Structure 1
Amino acid sequence: MKHYNYIFSGTGLAALLTIYEMSLSSYFKEKTILLIDKESKKTNDRTWCFWDETHLFDAIVSKKWDKIAFITSSENKKWSITPYSYKMIKGIDLYEYIFNLIQQNPNITFLKEEVLHIEDLGNQCKVTTKSSTFSSDIVFNSIFKPERVTSQKKYPLLQQHFIGWFIKSKEPVFDSETATFMDFSVKQNNNTRFMYLLPFSKNEALLEYTLFSSELLKKEEYEQEIKNYIQKIGITAYEIIEKEQGNIPMTSFPFWEQNTNNIIHIGSAGGWTKASTGYTFKKAYKKAKNLVQLLQKKEIGFSNQKELTKDKFWYYDLLFIDVLYQNNEIGAQLFSDLFQGDNPKLIFKFLDEETTVLEDLQVIWNCPKIPFLKALLYRLIP
C-alpha cells in the first residue's frame, strides 16, 4: 500500500486551487501528493465567473466586463462596477493551467480512477479505489454526497440549476461591454428564475436559463426558455456553438462538522460554495489559501479549525436560504430590493464577505423585512 503525505479525492475546483497554492510554496516541494479523479479533466465542461479588483488568474481569464445589468419586468439598470471587473474562466483553461503546474512538480501524481471509500485510521487515512488502496497523512475530499444534506431538515437545500447555450447570432444584438447579471423579466412560475447573459461580441454570447429552487426541470424546459429569450431579444437566426449545464447546492449545512483530524472536506462537499448565491470561485480561492497556510503551521486537528466555524456571513446565508426556501416565488423581488440602492460594488463586497457591520446593515436594510424576521424567529425559537 503506497503512502502519500496528501491525497485529493476528486479534482474539482477546490482541489485544483489548493494544489495551485501548494505549488507556490517551497514547503510542499518534498511532500508527496496524489490526486485521484475518475475524469481526466480534458474537456470544457463548465465556466466560472467572479468579480475581482485584482489580477486574480488574469492569464486565463477569457473575458471580463466592467459593466453589469440587472433587469426585471419593470426596470433595466446598468452600472459601471469599477474598480471591480466581472471575469470568466473556461473550465478547460483552468484545467490546462493547473495540470501544467502539476507536470512541473514530480512530487505530484494524478491517477484517473474512482474513489470508493475513505477511512480515517487515527494515525493515517486509507483510500480505496476500484483497483488499488493507498494511505496518506491527510485526505482532502471534494466528492459531494447530496444525501448528507437531504437526509436532514434543519438546513434546507436549494439548487442553482441551469442550462446554458453559447450562441452566434445573425443580428448584432449584444452589448459586449455589459454582463447581464440577472434578467428576471422571464416568467417566474412561482420560482426564482432568471436569464444570465455573458456577451463576447455583438454576435456571440452565453445565455443561461437559471433557477434557484428545490426541484430540477426537464432538459426541454430549460432549452425552450432559452429559445423564447433568443426570440424576445430580436434574434431570428443563430447557431449553437457549445452547451453547458450545472447544478450547484445552495445550503448552510455545516459540512465541516463531518471533518476528522485527517479527513478534510473541501469544495461543495466542505461548504465552500457561497450558499446565498451559488458562486464558487472566489470563496474557494480564499478557502484554499487559508487551508494551505494552516497546513504549513500544523497538519492535524483540522476538524476544529477556526476558519470553518459559523461567522456572521454564515448566519446571513442561513436566513437567506430559509427565506428563499419557504418563499421561492419572491426571489425576483428579493434581489430587486438588494440592488435597489444602486451600489453594486457594496453588494459585491458583501457577497465576498468583506464588509463591516455598518456596511452589512446598509445591505440588509434593503431586504424585505417580514420574511427575514420570520426566518430569524424560526432560528431563535426552537
Structure 2
Amino acid sequence: MNSFDYIIIGAGAAGLSLANAMGKDSFFSKKSILLLDKNAKQTNDRTWCFWEKGEGDFDDILHKKWSSIQFAGQQIDQKYPIAPYEYKMIQGLDFYASMFKKLDEYPNITFLNEEVISVTNTATVNTVKTANNTFIAATLFNSIFDYKEALQQQKYPVLQQHFIGWFIKTEQPVFDPKVATFMDFSIPQRGNTRFMYLLPTTAHEALIEYTLFSEHLLKASEYEEAIKKYISQKIGVNNYEIVETEQGSIPMTSYNFTSKNTSKQIFIGTAGGWTKASTGYTFKSTQKKVTLLIQHLKDQKPLQNFGKRDKFWFYDLLLLDILHRRNGLGQSIFEALFKNRKPQLIFKFLDEETSLLEDVKFISALSPMPFIKALLRRIF
C-alpha cells in the first residue's frame, strides 16, 4: 500500500493549480503529494476564459486576449473598451502542458495516469483505490463531481450553463480580432436565457458558442442549427471550415458543496462549489480558491471550515431563484446591466470585489421587482 501526505484526485484546473501551488511553496517541500487522473491530459478538451487587470500568472500561455468586448441585446448592440481589464483565453492543452512541466520540477509530487474506482474515509486516513493500486493519505483533495447530489435537494435551484462551440475558419476576413462578443442576446430566447458567445482569434478564425443558462440540456442538433443560422445570418458567411468543436455543461447553483468536507477530505473545483454560481465562470475563481486553501493549510485550520457564505453568495442565489422560476428574464437582466453600467463595474462585481456602495450602484441598474419577490420568497 502506497502512503502519501496528500492525494489530489483530478488533474483539471483545480487539481493542477493546487498541485503547482503546493509544489512551489517551501511549506510543503517535505510533504509527499500524489496527483491522480484517468486522463493523461494530452488533448485540447476545453477552453477557459476570464477577465483580468494587467499581467497575470498565465500570460505566457494565453491563446488570445481582447481589450474590448461587445454586448448585443434586443435594444442595444455596443462595443465597450474594458481597460484596465483584458479578456483572456487559455486553451486546455496549453494549460496542461504548462502545469505538468512545472510539476516535473517538484520531486515530492507524483502524477499517475490511473482511474479512481473508490474512495473510503475514516477519522484518520483516506484510502483511494485504482484498478492497479491502493493509496492512503492523511489529507485528500477530491474533485470528483456528483451532479445527483445537487439535484436531490430542493432548497437551492440548479441550472446549467450548457453550450456547444465551433472553432471555424473562413475564407474571407469577417471577424474583428480586437473585440470579443461577450454576450449576444439578439437571437430568439424561446423562453430561456440564450446567447451567442464569439471569440475571434484572427480575422479568419473564431470560436462561436451557443450558450444557455437553463435547467435542461438541448439535443445536439439544436445547438448546431442555432450556430449555423448565426454564422449565416449575423456574420454573413456560408463557406467555412469547422476546425474543432467543444461542448460542456457547468452547474449553476448556490448549493453548499462544502458541507461534504471533513477534517481529512476537502472537495475542490466544481465539486467544491468553486464555480461562480451566477455565471458558470470557474477558472479565475479556482485560482483565488487555491490561494486561500494554501494559506488555510499553512495555518493548520480545520479543513471542514474552509469556505464561507457571504453577500455575493446571496446575490447569486437571488438571481438563480429568478432564472429558475422565469428563465426568460435573463436577457432583460443582462441587457439592463450593460445598458446602464460600465463593464468595469460588472466585472468587479462578478469578481466579488465591490464595496457595499458599489453593490447598490450595480443592483440599482436592474428592475427591482423580480429581486424583491425573490428576496421575500427566501425570507418567508
Fold match by TM threshold 0.5: yes
Per the alignment, residue 121 of structure 2 pairs with 120
Identity of aligned residues (%): 52
Separation (CA, whole Å) in 2 of partners of 1:169 and 1:245 = 21
1:61 matched to 2:62? The reply is yes
Q: Counterpart in 1 of 2:247?
A: 245
Q: CA deviation at 1:3?
A: 0.8
The code of the aligned residue for 1:40 comes to A
- Tell me the residue number matched to 2:4: 4
Output the CA distance in 2 between the equivalents of 1:160 and 1:372: 21
Structure 2 counterpart of 1:362:
361
Corresponding residue of 2:293: 291
Kindly indicate whether the alpha-carbon contact (under 8 Å) linking 2:19 and 2:35 is maintained by their aligned counterparts in 1: no
Q: What residue in structure 1 maps to residue 178 of structure 2?
A: 177
The residue identity in structure 1 corresponding to 2:142 is: N
1:171–1:236 Cα contact (<8 Å) kept: no
Counterpart-to-counterpart distance in 1, 2:312 and 2:203: 38
Runs ≥4 residues deviating over 4 A = none
Equivalence for 2:196: 195
Deviation, structure 1 residue 102: 1.2
What is the Cα deviation at residue 330 of structure 1? 1.0
Aligned to 1:91: 92
Task: Please give the alpha-carbon distance, in whole angstroms, between the structure 2 residues aligned to 1:247 and 1:210.
Answer: 10
Indicate conservation of the 8 Å contact 1:170/1:236, yes or no.
no
2:157 corresponds to which letter in structure 1? Answer: P
Aligned-partner residue type, residue 217 of structure 1: L
Distance in 1, matches of 2:80 and 2:297, equals 41
Unaligned runs of 5+ in 1: none
Preserved contact between residue 120 and residue 260 of structure 1 (Cα < 8 Å): no
Please say if residues 8 and 19 of structure 2, whose CA atoms lie closer than 8 Å, have aligned partners that are also in contact.
no
Q: Which SS does the other structure have where 1:340 is aligned?
A: helix
**Cα deviations by residue, 1:161-208 (Å, 9 ceiling, x for unpaired):** 001111111222111100000000111111110000000111110000
Letter of the 2:326 counterpart: N
CA RMSD for the aligned pairs? 1.0
CA distances 1:302-331 after superposition (whole Å, capped 9, x unpaired)? 1023xx111110101111111111110111
Give how far 1:93 is off. 0.4
- Alignment-derived partner of residue 21 in structure 2: 21
Select 1:262's aligned residue among 252, 261, 264.
Answer: 264
Q: Distance in 1 between matches of 2:11 and 2:296?
A: 20
- Cα offset for 1:378? 1.2
Q: Distance in 1 between matches of 2:360 and 2:131?
A: 51
Partner of 1:47: 47
- Structure 1 distance, partners of 2:238, 2:9, is 46
- The worse-fitting range, judged by mean Cα deviation, of 164-173 and 352-361 is 164-173
CA contact 1:171–1:237 (8 Å) conserved in 2: no
CA offset digits 1:260-284 (Å, max 9, x no partner):
0110001110000000000011110
- Deviation sequence 1:73-103 (CA, Å, 0-9, x none): 3321111000000000000000000001111
Aligned twin of 1:153:
154
Partner SS state of residue 352, structure 2: coil
Shift of 1:332: 0.5
| Distance in structure 1 (CA, Å) of the matches to 2:6 and 2:68 | 42
* Distance apart, 1:18 and its partner CA: 1.1
1:166 alignment partner AA: F
Q: 2 CA distance for matches of 1:144 and 1:333?
A: 32
* Amino acid aligned to 1:270: G
Cα drift, residue 117 of structure 1: 2.2
The separation in 2 between residues aligned to 1:55 and 1:32, in whole angstroms, is: 32
Aligned residues: 378
CA distance in 1, matches of 2:268, 2:41: 18
1:165 aligns with 2:166: yes
Matches within 5 A, 1:265-344: 265-298=267-300, 301-305=302-306, 308-344=307-343
| AA partner of residue 42 (structure 2) | K
Which range is displaced more, 118-127 or 67-76?
118-127
Unaligned runs of 5+ in 2: none
- C-alpha separation in 1, matches of 2:133 and 2:361: 54
User: How far has the Cα of 1:54 moved from its partner?
Assistant: 3.1
Instruction: State the Cα deviation string for residues 210-230 of structure 1 (Å, max 9, x = none).
Output: 000010011111111110001
Q: Is the 8 A contact 1:161 1:245 kept in 2?
A: yes
Are the aligned partners of 1:44 and 1:91 in contact in 2 as well (CA < 8 Å)? yes
Task: For residue 63 of structure 2, give the secondary structure of its aligned residue in structure 1.
Answer: strand
Aligned residue identity for 1:114: E
CA contact (8 A) 1:139 1:264 kept: yes
The amino acid of 1:369's aligned partner reads P
Contact persistence 2:38–2:115 (CA under 8 A): yes
Find the aligned partners of 2:130 and 2:89 in 1 and give their Cα distance. 34
> Could you tell me which amino acid in structure 2 is paired with residue 276 of structure 1?
S
TM superposition shift of 1:368: 2.3
1:47–1:91 CA contact under 8 A, matched in 2: yes
* Farther-moved stretch of structure 1 (66-75 vs 279-288): 66-75
Name the SS for the 2:120 alignment partner: strand
Alpha-carbon offset, residue 17 of structure 1:
1.2
